[in-house]
Amino acid sequence: MSFDPTRDYPLGSRRPDLVSTLGGTPLAEVTLEAVRAGRISARDARATPETLRRQAAVASAAGRQPLAESLERAAELALVPDGELLEIYTSLRPGRSTAAQLESWAARLDGYGAERTAAFVREAAGVYGQRGLLTRA
Amino acid sequence: MRSRRFEARERRELNRELLVSPHPELGLVAAAGPRDPEPELLVENGVVVRLDGRASPDFDVIDRFVVAHGLDLDVAAEAMELDDLALGRMLVDVDVPRAELVRLARGLTPAKLARVIGLLDPVELMLALKKLRARRVPSNQAHVTNLKESPALLAADAAEAARRGFAEIETTVGVARYAPLNAISLLIGSQTGRPGVMTQCAVEERRNLELAFRGLVSYAETLSVYGTEPVFVDGDDTPWSKAFLGAAYASRGVKVRFTSGTGSEALMGHAQGLSMLYLEARCLAAVRAAGSQGVQNGSISCVALVLSVPGGTRAILGENVLAAWLDLEVASGNDAIASHSEIRKTAKLMGQFLPGTDFVTSGYSVMPRHDNTFGGGNFDADDIDEWLTIQRDWQVDAGIEPVPENEVLRVRETAARAVQAVFAELGLPPVSDGEVEAATVGYDSTEMPDRDRAADTEAADGLLARGVSGLDVALALDRRGFGEIAEAIVSMQRQRISADYLQTAAVIDADGLVHSAVNDPNVYSGPGTGYRLEGDRWQLLQSLPNVVDPAELLGGEADEEPVVLERGEAAKGADPAEVVVAVGPAFADGIRKTISDQSHRDVLEAICEGIRDGGGQPRLVRICRVADVAFIGHAGAQLSGSGIALGIQSKGTAVIHRVDLEPLDNLELFGMSPLYTLASYRAMGQNAAGYALGRRVGPVPTELDNFARAKLIVRTTLLHARETQAVRPGAATVELELAVPVGSG
């Protein structure tokens, strides 16, 4: 059955069939027993990009466009490694990066298929340039 | 020359605080500042060229971010055209749906939003807040910290908080490296008290993200934003970095709430001469644009600064309303200490407490406030009975439930034991039985045995290095026989996977069902609609552990030995020295003690002794047909040889009456029954004898306690109800004599 963002929320209780871990375990099989048996690892026990996109669709259907945008970015970031998330965040803080450094992060995000987030970083670089929030090379 | 009344007032707690007159240049003005810009939005060819007094080349980072991601230009033309007052009226009109107001807000500029909110008075703001709240049912958030960062105490306090109904629990650290230990203690404690409670550990963002990666926390509200560019940058962020961070948290299944609040810009010295409410409108526009589902606002840590200026409390309520209008979940402050004055603090609270917000406080201190390392504790452990009583008084659900002491002790001990087990299982420095015991029953962290803090911080570093996760905590609990808590923690991991709690205003119930503005929205549209405290929930919130069943207090005291013996119908006396002591229908019978706990035998003996000391002759009768003290005394006087009677009700209220007076007149009335001792009753007897013998009589000195009524009015009512039940209309007055006590003579 296809996903209907106006009816299928909460996914966990209404559409568990659509939800799985990052490692592909269906939600219904995420149990203490499965954890005991080592079938679920900590790295896997979080939302997939698909789940986050569905949450974005739910937010959008509820008229919350900026929240939907943020959840779309979250969907893109779900597969970006932890360490790089921290580095991108730090590089976006004021006075941390040159325009070129931000552009290289944007390119890296493009490489992960995180196009919206890449555009967001490029947009930031443009504004930072106009507001004196870049470092000099 | 000084007035001692002025001097006494200066010593009140309130006057530790400084009030200042408005000073707009420094941002010390609550709302409608003289330099706040006129609302303005100019769009040319789909591009915003002017916003609230600025041309696009001069837009700062906040303007640029709001224009790029927040303002909905499809709505803006229509919304900005609306008259300020018309918008203000729509906010309080129950026939204008929330959805319509939320739609219009998308097209309003910060200056317009602030101006419209500024038109509402406090009661209008409360109605608007009730209407605009995102989630149907209000809830509350707890703070759980302690000065020693004791894991057993953190877990016990988290368990109690969860059991008391808090939907979210927040901790922080004194020493940053403790973060993973505190997060684990909170996770275990919360799931012990009530499965589904969400937790966070407020620490620096990188460290916080690391906790998020490991599934040790489920929400974050550390993302602060500010209303001017210099302050934003001083906070080491930009709207873009914060929005990125928000998405990063969400990508790891962490619910995100931004933080803002009036007063921060003035405190940080860059208010740019703008009012607090206008700057908060800019913050909130940025929060919404960044895609946060909600905000913690209501001045938060700057509350005392905002309260120093005129209209501060109203502005804080206004900013909560503004956030709700922008369709954001609101955790509405009331966490940092607002005032030294309990009256002032509570008065401020009512703005959020009565309408109800998504989280009435963004941190109720479950422990005594000196253990609150947030610098919070506006309301704390000692205030819980007051909070519960005020909920009961107003019939309002402000998110805290009464729990009996034995149940609190049970969850506290279980949580402390669970943390002890997990520390042992994960090879962390041991938690002793002494710590478990002190965490269960203790008042605060001063009772906690000291731990080796160097070993704890080292172990905390090790935890992060080993990558210990929420699942590892569940496994450790499972191995040590804490299966239910382990299940609850796995359940929280499932929530992280389905990510439903990322939607606006989400909380999780004990069955694991998410309630958010999507599936459980606030639909208040006037009386009879929306969330109302009734049914089982109202029963729960009114049944405080200290509530007494009046039926129990009404119980008889039957089997006691008699105090008086009835000797038939009383006739009129002839002895001119006779003073009739007329008692009420239940006196020394169905009721045996006065309200001040004097036994009726002792009271009668004292009165009779006083009458004899005064040269009179006591004679006891019972008035059966009335319960009112004036009529009891008056009826007694009709039978008295001297024409003087002392009437007394079972609760101890007495009167000296004379045969020729109107029933409601008297010689002396003793209405403060809770204050009378046996010496008082002896003195009343003496005075009655004095009147009988025609001597000059000075009134019996009486004290005044204006609190006696508040303290005893319920008991008075119950005692009087029993006296009234004993009334037999038309029954004759009965002659009495004191019974000889068993074992005497």
Q: Are residues B663 and B517 in the same domain?
A: no
Residue for token digits 């929320």? A9
CB contact under 8 A, A131 and B518: no
DSSP notation for B137-206: S-EEEEE---TT--HHHHHHHHHHHHHTT-SEEEEE-SSGGGHHHHHHHHHHHHHHHSTT-EEEEE--HH
What's the rounded Cα separation, in Å, for the pair B105 and A64?
12
Q: Which run of H or E residues covers position B55?
A: strand B54-55
Q: Are residues A53 and A84 in the same domain?
A: no
CB contact under 8 A, B215 and A123: no
What's the rounded Cα separation, in Å, for the pair B723 and A36?
68
Are A55 and B502 spatial neighbours (Cβ–Cβ below 8 Å)?
yes
Return all residues near B147 (Cβ < 8 A) that are at least 6 apart.
B174, B370, B371, B373, B445
Question: Given this model, what pLDDT does residue B333 score?
Answer: 97
Q: Are residues B469 and B331 in the same domain?
A: yes
State how many domains chain A has.
2
Q: Are residues A19 and A45 in the same domain?
A: yes
DSSP notation for A77-112: HTTS-HHHHHHHHHHHSTTS--HHHHHHHHHHHHHT
Domain-located, residue B323: yes
Tokens coding B675: 């204050």
Q: Say whether residue B173 is in contact with chain A using an 8 A CB cutoff.
A: no
B473 Cα to chain A: minimum distance (Å): 11
pLDDT, average across residues B45-60: 98
Query: From the candidates B36, B52, B63, B143, which is the catalytic residue?
Result: B143
Cα-Cα-Cα-Cα torsion B524, B526, B527, B533, nearest 10 degrees, comes to 20
Nearest to B88 by CA among B122, B125, B52, B123: B125
Q: In B38-66, which positions are buried (b, 16+ CB within 10 angstroms) versus exposed (e)?
A: ebebebeeeebebbbeeeeeebbbbbbbb
Q: What secondary structure, in 3-state letters, does B570-618 show?
A: CCCCCCCCEEEEEECCCECCCECECCCCCEHHHHHHHHHHHHHHCCCEE
Q: Are residues A56 and A100 in the same domain?
A: no
What ipTM is given for this predicted complex? 0.99
Neighbours of B551 (CB within 10 A): 8
- Whether B296 is catalytic: yes
Domain-located, residue B60: no
Q: Are residues B277 and B180 in the same domain?
A: yes
Domain-located, residue B182: yes
Per-residue pLDDT at B127 exceeds 70 = yes
Query: B743 pLDDT band (50/70/90 cuts)?
Result: low
Question: Given this model, what pLDDT does residue B705 score?
Answer: 87
pLDDT, average across residues B618-631: 97
Return all residues near A33 (Cβ < 8 A) that are at least 6 apart.
none
What's the rounded Cα separation, in Å, for the pair B713 and B724?
16
Q: Are residues B658 and B592 in the same domain?
A: yes
Q: Are residues B286 and B247 in the same domain?
A: yes
Mean pLDDT check: name the lowest of A54-68, B53-67, B146-160, B698-712.
B698-712
Q: Are residues B597 and B509 in the same domain?
A: no
Q: Are residues B264 and B226 in the same domain?
A: yes
Looking at every residue in chain A, the average pLDDT score rounds to: 96
Q: Which residues of A touch B519 (CB under 8 A)?
A: 9-10
Q: Are residues A17 and A75 in the same domain?
A: yes
Question: Given this model, what pLDDT does residue B744 score?
Answer: 59
Q: Are residues B725 and B583 in the same domain?
A: yes
The C-alpha angle B72, B75, B80, rounded to 5 degrees, equals 105
Read off the pLDDT of residues B448-468 as tens digits, 9 standing for 90 and up: 999 999 999 999 999 999 999
CB contact under 8 A, A45 and B496: yes
A135 Cα to chain B: minimum distance (Å): 13
Q: Percent helix, strand and coil across chain A, each rounded to 5?
A: 60, 0, 40
CATH code for the domain of B376: 3.20.20.350
Q: Are residues B512 and B640 in the same domain?
A: no
State how many domains chain B has.
2
Q: Angle between the B110-117 and B84-92 helix axes, to the nearest 10 degrees? A: 60
Q: Angle between the B276-289 and B61-69 helix axes, to the nearest 10 degrees? A: 50
Q: What is the Cα B385 distance to its own chain's centre?
A: 8
Read off the pLDDT of residues B555-609 as tens digits, 9 standing for 90 and up: 655 567 889 999 999 999 999 999 999 999 999 999 999 998 999 999 999 999 9
Read off the pLDDT of residues B282-296 as tens digits, 9 standing for 90 and up: 999 999 999 999 999
Q: Which residues of B touch A55 (CB under 8 A)?
A: 499-500, 502-503
Q: Are residues A60 and A26 in the same domain?
A: yes
Q: Are residues B440 and B574 in the same domain?
A: no
What's the rounded Cα separation, in Å, for the pair B661 and B664?
8
Read off the pLDDT of residues B464-497 as tens digits, 9 standing for 90 and up: 999 999 999 999 999 999 999 999 999 999 999 9
Nearest to B237 by CA among A71, A123, A119, A95: A95
Number of residues in chain B = 745
Per-residue pLDDT at B701 exceeds 90 = no
Strands of the sheet with B41-44, listed across from one edge: B41-44, B47-51, B54-55
Q: Domain of B463? A: 139-542
Question: Given this model, what pLDDT does residue B557 score?
Answer: 58
Q: Domain of A89? A: 80-137
Domain-located, residue B683: yes
Read off the pLDDT of residues B73-112 as tens digits, 9 standing for 90 and up: 999 999 999 999 999 999 999 999 999 999 999 999 999 9
Domain-located, residue B2: no
Q: Which residue has the higher pLDDT, B194 or B376?
A: B194
What's the rounded Cα separation, in Å, for the pair A19 and B253?
13
Q: Are residues B155 and B209 in the same domain?
A: yes
Q: Are residues A2 and A57 in the same domain?
A: yes
CATH code for the domain of A128: 1.10.1510.20
- DSSP-derived pairing of the beta strands B564-569 and B734-738: antiparallel
Using CA coordinates, name the residue in chain B closest to A14: B513
Question: Given this model, what pLDDT does residue B396 score?
Answer: 98
Q: What does each C-alpha distance from B371 to B190, B202, B217, B377 come to in angstroms?
A: 18, 16, 21, 9
Q: Say whether residue B496 is in contact with chain A using an 8 A CB cutoff.
A: yes
Are B148 and B445 spatial neighbours (Cβ–Cβ below 8 Å)?
yes
Looking at every residue in chain B, the average pLDDT score rounds to: 96
Q: Say whether residue B493 is in contact with chain A using an 8 A CB cutoff.
A: yes
Question: Given this model, what pLDDT does residue B559 score?
Answer: 62
Return the percentage of chain B with pLDDT > 70, whole number.
99
What's the rounded Cα separation, in Å, for the pair B214 and B395?
41
Per-residue pLDDT at B554 exceeds 70 = no
Burial of B424 (0-12, 13-18, 19+ CB in 10 A): middle
Q: Are residues A15 and A40 in the same domain?
A: yes
Per-residue pLDDT at B403 exceeds 70 = yes
Q: Are residues A53 and A26 in the same domain?
A: yes
B431 Cα to chain A: minimum distance (Å): 25
Q: Are residues A74 and A115 in the same domain?
A: no
| B55: amino acid identity, one letter | A
Q: Are residues A64 and A126 in the same domain?
A: no
Tokens coding B444: 């605060």
CATH code for the domain of B635: 3.40.50.10150
Read off the pLDDT of residues A14-39 as tens digits, 9 standing for 90 and up: 999 999 999 999 999 999 999 999 99
Question: Given this model, what pLDDT does residue B651 score?
Answer: 95
Q: Are residues A58 and A96 in the same domain?
A: no
DSSP state of B514: E
Per-residue pLDDT at B702 exceeds 90 = no
Q: Are residues A50 and A3 in the same domain?
A: yes
Question: Given this model, what pLDDT does residue B704 score?
Answer: 83
What's the rounded Cα separation, in Å, for the pair B175 and A98?
33
Name the β-bridge partners of B492: none
What's the rounded Cα separation, in Å, for the pair A98 and A119?
16
Question: Given this model, what pLDDT does residue B552 score?
Answer: 78
Q: Are residues B181 and B217 in the same domain?
A: yes
